[in-house]
Amino acid sequence: MKGSHRKGFLTTILVLTAIFLASYPVSADIYIFVDKNGVSHFTNTPTSPQFQLFVKGKRPRHRTLLNKKCYDPLIKKAARKFNMDFSLIKAVIEVESAYNPRAVSSKGARGLMQIMPSNFKALKLLDPFEPSQNIMAGTRYLNDLIHQYKGNLKHALAAYNAGPGNVDKYNGIPPFQETQNYVQRVMALHRIYRTNS
């Protein structure tokens, strides 16, 4: 197929796919990647930065209430292994993913503790959507950050959200509204969970 015809054919396929997807109640974003052969690949869980947002999913008016205790055994196991506070890990999971093990952020972070693909190898994370692996890897990373910042929990949380580079650059919590809100939310939930445990 000639280049111009292939491009026109591909455009037609994309338009038809968009119409097809739009006719269903999509609850997640749909991503697309067109390989070197012109074949389109669609997914709601991108595994590579080559995937681009194709269809923005419709968000439910009311967030589905997830069982906040269903991952407690896995959180306790990770807390014991890394000598971490169970309440802190639980608070991070709630703020990061609202207990959704299939969560994918706009930046590509995945799973319950929203781990970036660039950290998978160092954390020995094979499947970010498998709750046990994700919680163990996320707890390990958070524990490393707490040690890196000599027990300063707020700085460690800021680094978890914005990256250690930004915390080092600003010598503390970066002046990013998202990061400042993140630290406040996690700390507040941490106190609540600790009080109620």
Catalytic positions, please?
96
92 Cβ partners below 8 Å, 6+ apart?
A: 113, 138, 142, 157, 160, 186
Beta-carbon contacts of 62 under 8 Å, excluding residues fewer than 6 positions away, are none
Reduced to 3 states, what is the DSSP secondary structure of residue 42?
A: strand
Report the C-alpha gap between 92 and 99 in whole angstroms: 10
153-162 helix and 177-196 helix, angle to the nearest 10 degrees: 130
The residue to which tokens 């008016």 are assigned: 61
**Tokens found for residue 72:** 């407690």
